[in-house]
Amino acid sequence: MTTSRRIGVNGETFDIYEILICEHCLILLANGECSDPLEHDTPEACPSPSDKWPEAESITLGRLDHAEMCGDTCEGDCGDYGFSQSSCEGCGDPLHGNRAYAVAWVPA
């Protein structure tokens, strides 16, 4: 259920994709390193959203339009999607589990 849109930021045009990522990808994006450095001790062993989104200039955490979509009801936790049975859209991990929203910024 990837949603995409084309937007302009500071004179640059991006195709932005809202994706759902697993907890491993979330930690990787948030901390810059993996939650499992023993098993994932090489880049090949550590699947990353940037492998699946090689054209993305950056991948940011959270929803596309926090202000627009949440209104007054949001307490800033809209980045949490909850339990999903779909594969992670960041690393392709097919395990079911909690997912979080992220946005991939692909230069158009």
Cα gap 52→89, rounded to integer Å: 8
Interface region with Zn ion, contact rule CB under 5 A, candidates 1-9, 19-27, 53-61, 99-107? 19-27
The smaller minimum CB distance to Zn ion, of residues 11 and 71, is found at 71
Q: Which 78-97 residues touch Zn ion, going by CB under 5 A?
A: 78, 88, 90-91, 93
Number of residues that bind Zn ion (CB under 5 A): 13
**Sequence-distant (≥ 6) Cβ neighbours of residue 59 within 8 angstroms:** 29, 49, 50, 53, 90, 102, 103, 104, 105
For position 66 contacting Zn ion by CB under 5 A, the verdict is yes
* Residues in contact with Zn ion, shown as a per-residue x/- string from 25 to 64 under the rule CB under 5 A: x--------x-----x-----x------------------
